[in-house]
Copies of this chain bind each other. A is one copy, B any other.
Amino acid sequence: MKKFINTPADYVLEMLAGIYYAHPRQLTYVNDDLHCLVTAQAVKPGKVGLVTGGGSGHLPLFLGYVGDGLLDGCAVGDVFQSPSAEQILNVTKAVDQGAGVLYLFGNYSGDILNFDMAAELADFEDIQTAKVIGADDVGSAPLERQSKRRGVAGIFFMYKIAGAAAARGLPLHEVGRLANLAGAATKTLGVALSPCIIPEVGSPAFSVAEDEMEIGMGIHGEPGILTQSRDSADRIIDRILPMLLDELTFQPGDRAAVLLNGLGATPQDELYILYRRVHQLLAERRIPVFHVYCGEYATAMEMTGFSLSVCKLDDELAGYLAQPAHTPFFTQLPLAP
């Protein structure tokens, strides 16, 4: 296991301790539980609170999006495990400012169960909640069963757009509407060349043959839609980008935001080689590009691979995406229109 760790059982707590030590002005925790992460800045009175949560092993997802113009808190689970309902509730109570709290999380059964239970507990405390579930991974189920799709890197666009809407002071139903629009406008597909190792397990749960690749593999190593022999960067993009665009009907005036996300061990060099081809294909289809995000946004520890997300933006969504944001893991200046 080629990892820099101490004992596997301490992996998440020591990671969190390092994060709090490194960013004391930006992040803190509540209830004496390092897993209950919230912004160290006061949440503005009357602002809708935004809370996410999910398993560890995906940095900067999920907790890396807590900060100005983004989210207010994150319930942190163990590696690839949901946080508990109680942890979600504690984060909820810490960030609620009377305007309600929106839960944004990925479509995994453990997370759904615990967020739903937290919502019930919050209701007892007179905190209004709503939820929007990220399900952007087109590799995990066909369009006819899209409610079964997993949430992966594309949840970034939901965070970013909801975060800007909440920062602008919009009410809960409006922030929820925009998060839903962002979710519906975002499609993702991942390609993996190697697995990752859960520290407490110590060996890969699956393997990818030296000359093969997995199209549609999930960020926990869930099987994809296809195992095939390895292919060139351009041919991979030629194959997967149309699968995303086929589900997004671009109208005149719409623009694309592109997220080329490294899954862990893939260098930025390769992400840009892949983006080169994305750009060419979008130009051929006359789809204007609003902004390109290229780097690590949602990882699977040391997995070799990438995911490609496309978010279809009308002027309303583009306006929110363009707003500035700042966390210890992600900083964006205002984007030009």
**A contacts, CB < 8 Å to B:** 2-7, 11, 14-19, 21-23, 25, 56-57, 59-60, 191, 193-194, 210, 232-234, 236, 264-276, 279, 292, 294-296, 299, 301-302, 304, 306, 326, 329, 331-333, 336
Contact = CB atoms under 8 A, between A and B. Distances in A.
A304 to B, nearest CB: 5
Which one of A60, A272, A306 has the greatest number of beta carbons of chain B within 10 Å? A272
Contact of A268 (B5, B296, B333): B296
Given A4-B266, A234-B6, A268-B296, A22 B275 contact: yes
10 contacts: A5-B270, A5-B273, A6-B232, A6-B233, A6-B273, A14-B272, A15-B272, A15-B273, A16-B272, A18-B279
A14 B277 CA distance: 9
Contact of A4 (B16, B236, B332): B236
Given A2-B194, A6-B233, A292-B23, A18 B266 contact: no
Contacts of A304: 2, 265, 302
A59 B268 contact: yes
A336 B25 contact: yes
A276 B17 contact: yes
Nearest to A56: B269
A3 B272 contact: no
Contacts of A232: 5-7
Copies of this protein, total:
2
B331 A333 contact: yes
B299 A4 contact: no
A302 B265 CA distance: 6
A271 B266 CA distance: 17
A7 B236 CA distance: 14
Which one of A21, A191, A269, A301 has the greatest number of beta carbons of chain B within 10 Å? A269
Contact of A21 (B18, B210, B234, B275): B275
Contact of A3 (B15, B21, B264, B270): B270
B193 A2 contact: yes
A324 to B, nearest CB: 9
A11 B269 contact: yes
A171 B140 CA distance: 58
Contact of A264 (B6, B16, B267): B267
A326 B334 CA distance: 11
Which one of A7, A236, A266, A267 has the greatest number of beta carbons of chain B within 10 Å? A267
Contacts of A17: 276
A16 B275 CA distance: 10
A141 to B, nearest CB: 25
A238 to B, nearest CB: 11
B306 A269 contact: no
A275 B234 contact: no
Contacts of A271: 18
B336 A326 contact: no
Which one of A4, A17, A56, A266 has the greatest number of beta carbons of chain B within 10 Å? A4
A274 B18 contact: yes
A22 B279 contact: yes
